[in-house]
Structure 1
Amino acid sequence: MSMSNGKQHSTANVTVTHEDRRKRSRIGIIEFDDIDTEAFRALPNGARVVYFTLLTYINRGNGKAWPTQRTLARVTGKDAAVVSKAIKLLDARGFVTREVSRSGMSYVYAVTSPPEGPTCEG
């Protein structure tokens, strides 16, 4: 294995650059390139953390997640108010969609690929 400037790795006559790895990387059901957007980078830190956490809860069968906001606060280490604000912002900017669960007591989230360009609403 060789490494030059930490950017290239070779194993068994196969060379993989960080760019190649990034293109194949998946986070839950979202490709890394789908979140490497100006719109995603413009989100506040709390919203990005909540988004990544929602990705870890995705059910691959239906593409939805249903952690409670209390669970999201506990897992992210963020205050419940930060989580609530982050979810509203993610919804307003098109990163997630929310629907009320069957019980009417919580939300079910569908996590989507972030928009391409900058988003300011929300």
Structure 2
Amino acid sequence: MRKYLCMTFALLALAMGRADAQRCLPGMKGVQLTADMTDGFYNHFNRNDAGFAFGLSVSACIKGGNQWIFGGEILQRYYPYRSTRIPLAQYTGEAGYYYNFFSDPKKMFFLNIGGSAWQAMNR
């Protein structure tokens, strides 16, 4: 285990290059893509109730360090019933606005206050 940990740190040190941070300057956009397995990492061959989730969200910085966020996610889970599986899918959409309450002059620290609303739909 220690050998793998040392190799991981060595590869990370070799792969390090220039890193840029998102500083929430006007016009900056960010994209977040997520993929998950429900209740652990397995598939329908070894567990009958396997499932997955995918999500995509986009954030846009506007004047003053404020942000708009829009996103969506799908979650699909299978429920075993007798000798078959019943799929249940849930679609979720989100929209939100975050106000820049405080940030330092170098734009290294942000404190945002805001809210978002989401709507879920089961199929």
**TM-score, with normalisation over the residues of structure 2?**
0.23
Structure number, greater radius of gyration: 2
Q: Which has the higher helix share?
A: 1
Q: Which has the higher contact order (CA 8 A, sep 6+)?
A: 1
**TM-score, with normalisation over the residues of structure 1?**
0.23
Q: Which has the higher strand share?
A: 2
